[in-house]
Amino acid sequence: MDLADVWQQVTATRPAPPDWLVLTMAAVALTAVVLRPVWRVSRAVVTIAHEGGHGLAALLTRRRLSGIRLHSDTSGLTLSYGRPTGPGMILTAAAGYTAPPLLGLGGAALLAAGRTGWFLWIAIALLVGMLLRIRNAFGVLAVVATGALFGLVSWYGDDRVQAGFAYLGVWFLLLAGVRPVLELQQMRRAGRSPESDADQLARLTGVGAVLWVTLFLVVALACLLAGGSWLLHWRSV
């Protein structure tokens, strides 16, 4: 496959995949979110999106992004410098838990429009950009492995393989956007997350942390409802 073929695959509008493929990928994604042993591994993908959201928001609000770390326990840390208060800091803190479902929603819009190639290569571009900001070995390994998987599917996969992989990824982002928010509130109730994003936002804004958790959950559920309806072709065309 040469570059002209790749560009054609990226820009081509693909027909909607069969319903059985869309539903099968939804079931696989749900399994990856619900089953605890699988979630311990698959949650790393959510962490990449979460920390990437912090990093992108920091750059967009003109904060200085120092670096991103991803850890083997699926936790992560994004460090940025700038004003310790104000809209930039608030948006940066709020971007973590909202990033996975919003990315899933954007992916669902692309897939509903038949732009499977755009979804795959935009994901690769975002991962490459994030790799430049990773500051630990495990983080590099996690992002390179994820990007390599996207690259292999995009380069070598036929239309059916690319569609299945893309739908799996989008379903996973939409479904996995909910569980971390619920886990966050559980940890807060147990007193095990005093420096969570919600607590930082509470100190920055004076709005209670529970309300921020509620906002994260509303965003995740709204994206799941809207994105899921697009993937299932319920919207009018």
pLDDT digits (tens, 9 = 90+) for 155-169: 888 899 999 999 999
Amino acid at 118: W
Reported as a pLDDT band with limits 50, 70 and 90, residue 103 is very high
Instruction: Give the Cα separation of 207 and 232 in Å (integer).
Output: 37
Output 158 or 137, whichever has higher pLDDT: 137
Three-state DSSP at 18 gives coil
pLDDT recorded at residue 5: 67
Tokens of 174: 């939409």
pLDDT recorded at residue 86: 94
Q: Which of 9-18, 27-36, 129-138 has the lowest mean pLDDT?
A: 9-18
Output 6 or 26, whichever has higher pLDDT: 26
Q: Longest Cα pair distance anywhere in the chain, in angstroms? A: 56
pLDDT recorded at residue 50: 97
Task: Answer for the pair 113, 47: CB distance below 8 angstroms, yes or no.
Answer: no
Q: Please give the model's pTM, rounded to 2 decimal places.
A: 0.93
- pLDDT tens for 211-228 read 999 999 999 999 999 999
- CB atoms under 10 Å from CB of 18, counted, come to 11
> Looking at the predicted structure, is the pLDDT value of residue 20 above 70?
yes
Instruction: Give the Cα separation of 159 and 165 in Å (integer).
Output: 10
> Looking at the predicted structure, is the pLDDT value of residue 230 above 70?
yes
The stretch 104-118 carries a mean pLDDT of 95
Q: Is the dihedral of CA 49, 54, 60, 66 positive or negative?
A: negative
Q: Which neighbouring-strand residues pair with 81?
A: 64
> Looking at the predicted structure, is the pLDDT value of residue 173 above 50?
yes
Output 181 or 14, whichever has higher pLDDT: 181
